[in-house]
Structures are given as structure tokens and as C-alpha cells.
Structure 1
């Protein structure tokens, strides 16, 4: 089961990376947001960061479920605040 969870996280990363490469023309015309480097690079870096978070929380969950739940709550709250800040 643990190996399956690892491959799910890695599969999501590579699947999303391929999807952004295939659909880049649509993505480029539908967004007016600023990017740091390039929309493709920024998107892949974001998904790589999400993969790191996924693996970190997964390893923490294997050790202590309570700590992993707190990490998820903090990251979720931080994501919510950042989303509101960047929308405004």
C-alpha cells in the first residue's frame, strides 16, 4: 500500500506535467496572471513543490498520524490565506 501511495503521488506529478505541456496554448491564452520564470516552468515547479509536500506528509503520517493531521491543517490554512491574498 505504501508503494502504491508513492506511485500515486509521482504519477500525479508526471501526469499534470504532461497535461500542461500538451495544453499549453490553451493555458497561455486563458491566464493573465504573472509568472516568475515561464508559465510551463512555474507550473511544473508548483507541482514539484506539491509532490514534496505530499511525500513529507506521507512520511510523517507513517510515523505519527496526529502530527500529519496538524501539518495538513496548517498547509491548508496557509493555502487558503494565500489564495485570498493573491485574489485581492
Structure 2
């Protein structure tokens, strides 16, 4: 009894191409996971429930997390400025000794 090939259109060419780009696919999958994790963490820390739910539900291959991280994350400049001032004060105190 002969087995019937259910997918005659899939040839060895497909497998060789996939093998060539397998490392790129793996890299993109890991990059997507990292971007999604960072954007989910930032959305949760900022109490942005809508963004958190949207980022969990929709799989946009990294596009939505990049858009969120670039345009919708609130940059807390006050903390950065306060940290710089604190470091400057410590440095001045050390220099005066």
C-alpha cells in the first residue's frame, strides 16, 4: 500500500529556505517576546489597563509593542532631573572635603 502525499506542493525547496532563515525566525520570535514583556511591564506600572489588555490579546509581531514604547510611555523626567541633582550634590560634598 502506497502512502498518499497530502501536500505535493511542499517540496524540498521550502525546507531548504526555512532552514536558511531559521535563525532569523528564532531571533524575531525572541525579540517579539522581549518587546512584549517590556511593554506589558511598563503598561502595568503606569496603570494603563487598556494598553495592557490590548498588548496581551493582539499578536502584532512586535509592531504594537514598539508603537507603545515609542509613543505612549510617559517619560518621567522629574525623576531623572531629581536623580541628577542628587548625584551632583553628593559630588560637590565630596569635593569640599
TM-score (norm 1): 0.38
Please state which structure has a larger fraction of its residues in helix.
Answer: 1
Higher radius of gyration, 1 or 2: 2
